Structure 1
Amino acid sequence: MTATFHSDVHRDRASTLDPTRRNGIVYATPDGRQLRADFYAPAGPGPFPVIVALPGGGWLAGDPAGLRHWGEFLARNGLAMFAIQYRVSATEKTFPDPVCDALAAVQFVRGSAQELGVDPQRIGLLGASAGAHAAALAALAWDAPRFANRPPANAHAGVDARVKLFAGVYGVYDMLAHWQHEIADFPLASGRRSECFMGGSPFVDRQLYFDASPISHVRHATNKLPVFVGYGTADAVVDPRSQSEPFLRALRQAGHVVRECPVNGAGHFWFSEEHIEEAQSSAGFLAPHLLRFLKRHL
Structure 2
Amino acid sequence: MNLTMQLIKALAALSGKPIRMSSVAAPDDDPDSIVIAPDPAAKISPSRNSRSYKGLAYADHSPKLRMDILTPQGPGPHPLVLYLPGGGFVSARRMMAAKQRRYVADAEFVVASIDYRTTSVGATYRDGLIDVATALQFLRGHASEYGVDPDRVAVWGESAGGYMASMAATEPDNKISAAVDFFGASNLTEVAAGFDAPTVAAYTGPKSAIPAYILGPGRAAADHPEEMREADPANRVTAQTPPFLILHGDDDRIIAPAQTARLHQALRAAGVDSTRYVLKGGGHGELSDTPQMWSSAEIMDRVVEFLRAQTSR
TM superposition score normalised by structure 1: 0.80
1:23 counterpart (54, 57, 79): 54
Counterpart in the other structure of 2:281? 265
Paired amino acid for 1:29: D
Cα separation, 1, equivalents of 2:107 and 2:284:
26
TM superposition score normalised by structure 2: 0.76
Q: String of CA shifts for 1:42-79, please: whole Å, max 9, x gaps.
A: 11331111101100000001111112112211111111
The structure-2 alpha-carbon separation of the partners of 1:217 and 1:16, relative to structure 1 and needing over 3 Å to count, comes to closer
Q: String of CA shifts for 1:75-101, please: whole Å, max 9, x gaps.
A: 111111010100012474523111111
1:229 counterpart (246, 250, 257): 246
Asked if the contact 1:232–1:263 (Cα under 8 Å) also holds between the matched residues in 2, the reply is yes
Shift in Å, 1:184: 4.5
Counterpart in the other structure of 1:283? 295
1:249 counterpart (265, 268, 279): 265
Counterpart in the other structure of 2:100? 70
Cα separation, 2, equivalents of 1:181 and 1:116:
45
Partner SS for 1:136: helix
Counterpart in the other structure of 1:208? 227
Aligned sequence identity (%): 25
Cα separation, 2, equivalents of 1:79 and 1:255:
27
Counterpart in the other structure of 1:239? 256
2:211 counterpart (181, 195, 201): 195
Partner SS for 1:65: coil
Higher relative contact order (CA 8 A, sep 6+): 2
Shift in Å, 1:195: 1.8
Gaps of 5+ in 1: 1-13, 144-160
Paired amino acid for 2:278: P
Cα separation, 2, equivalents of 1:43 and 1:259:
31
Cα separation, 2, equivalents of 1:99 and 1:15:
30
Cα separation, 2, equivalents of 1:192 and 1:209:
14
Paired amino acid for 1:219: T
Alignment of 1:1-298 (within 5 A): 18-30=49-61, 32-90=62-120, 92-143=122-173, 161-178=174-191, 184-185=198-199, 187=201, 189-198=205-214, 199=216, 200-220=219-239, 222-223=240-241, 225-241=242-258, 243-270=259-286, 281-284=293-296, 285-298=298-311
Gaps of 5+ in 2: 1-44
Which stretches of structure 1, 4 residues or more, deviate above 6 A after TM superposition?
14-17
Cα separation, 1, equivalents of 2:70 and 2:272:
29
Aligned length: 260
Q: String of CA shifts for 1:178-203, please: whole Å, max 9, x gaps.
A: 26678741536243221221222222
Asked if the contact 1:270–1:283 (Cα under 8 Å) also holds between the matched residues in 2, the reply is no
Asked if the contact 1:55–1:131 (Cα under 8 Å) also holds between the matched residues in 2, the reply is yes
Counterpart in the other structure of 2:30? none
